[in-house]
Amino acid sequence: MLLSAPGAVAREPVEKAPVAGAAAAPAAAPTAALTEVTDFGSNPSNLQMYLYVPDSVTANPAVVVAVHYCTGSGPAMYSGTEYASLADTYGFIVVYPSVTRASKCFDVSSPQALTRGGGSDPVGIKSMVDWVTRTYSADTGRIFATGISSGAMMTNVLLGDYPDVFAAGAAFSGVPFGCFATTDGSEWNSACSGGTVLHTPQEWGDLVRNAYPGYTGPRPRMQVWHGTEDDVLRYPNFGEEIKQWTNVLGVSQTPAATDSPQSGWTRTRYGATGDQAPVEAISLQGIGHNLYAWGMAARVLTFFGLDSSGPGPQPQPGACKVTATTSAWNTGLTGSVTITNTGTSRIEGWRLGFTLPSGQTITNGWGAAYAPASGVVTATNASYNGTIAANASVSVGYQANHTGNSSAPAAFTLNGTACSGS
């Protein structure tokens, strides 16, 4: 059995240059056109790389890797989703990997695919990201993956194999990392597709952690979507994904927030209540496997933090307070940051977002992992300070170089929620 192309995406295509005219791009690609890039690096499974760079591409752009479904292709993903048109609005770059094997399915089953640097499709996709990073000086702290069906399964795999590369993912009708594993060379795992592969959260989390043994850095956030009537990748996989990623991210399996952003949808958020919670899950009542529809990509961008506004709940000022000071000398400084939870429930797992003043570059830090070192920075909690009780505080800090401006950042967000200053 193969996963079918989602019928819901067959709506009005984005008006872009025709795919038939896609040209090889040994250096920077043409803008506002889908372009095939060749010789992009290590590519053990002979994937094709398609790229969309908007006219409005920003300096140090974010990158979204959009991964197609079985029987699909990079060009089909380009014309059947809104990521290219959204890139025109927000200035990020979109990479569309394309399978050349007969099934047109991504390898999410082999031991090679489920190991960092092990080979197969994940290595080729990582090479695509590296090519874009080199060519466009992309922001390595804003690399994201999203996919549909087989692409959703690959999104889970990419985040497991390369937690140091991807900041977040969004998976539409997928399965957990490792669920599709086989040892006989088969691409299909009927037990997983049928929803009968069940594990404890710890067991699911260990599968992810074993893909990159010894890694102790920050883990990417995850958004998962699933229809209750999915007859290709059964609905229990949705709950197993939630178990896996809440465990990986070290947050409670009890939702921090539950709402219905659209009729028939149930959205749960784990570890935080804002638009960029560690884990977000959207269940679509009565919907089958082909759930992706126009408008959903905008919600993905809100979760990724790539839009300036979005259809989700707006930040609630007052839920957090941040005090930041610096102590400077001629070319360096230390920054001290205190985060206070002014809400009524505890925070389990936090990511503090801020923009460093121009000319500042973080050289080391304590109490959190900081990435990237300059520009728009995300500080992710350490293993020992991820929980902040109501009315409690956590203090972290960093050392940085500067070229004259030694001031502290002016604004902060905590898990996507704007914080007040003091």
> CA-CA-CA-CA torsion for 35, 37, 43, 46, nearest 10 degrees?
60
> CA-CA-CA-CA torsion for 169, 152, 313, 138, nearest 10 degrees?
30
The residue among 234, 18, 232 whose CA lies nearest residue 105 is: 232
- Return the axis-axis angle of helices 201-209 and 150-161, rounded to nearest 10°: 70
Catalytic residue list: 149
* Residue 261 neighbours by CB under 8 Å, 6+ apart: 267, 282, 299, 311, 312
Buried b (16+ CB within 10 A) or exposed e, 84-121: bebbbebbbbbbbbbbeeeebbbbbbbebbbbbeebbb
What region, left, alpha or beta, does residue 115 occupy, with left being phi > 0 and alpha being psi -120 to 50 degrees?
Answer: beta
Buried b (16+ CB within 10 A) or exposed e, 46-58: ebbbbbbbbeebe
Contact 362, 378 (CB under 8 A): no
For 186, what's the count of Cα atoms within 13 Å in the CB-facing half-sphere? Answer: 12
The residue among 182, 156, 322 whose CA lies nearest residue 248 is: 156
Tokens representing 4?
A: 């079918």
For 191, what's the count of Cα atoms within 13 Å in the CB-facing half-sphere? Answer: 11
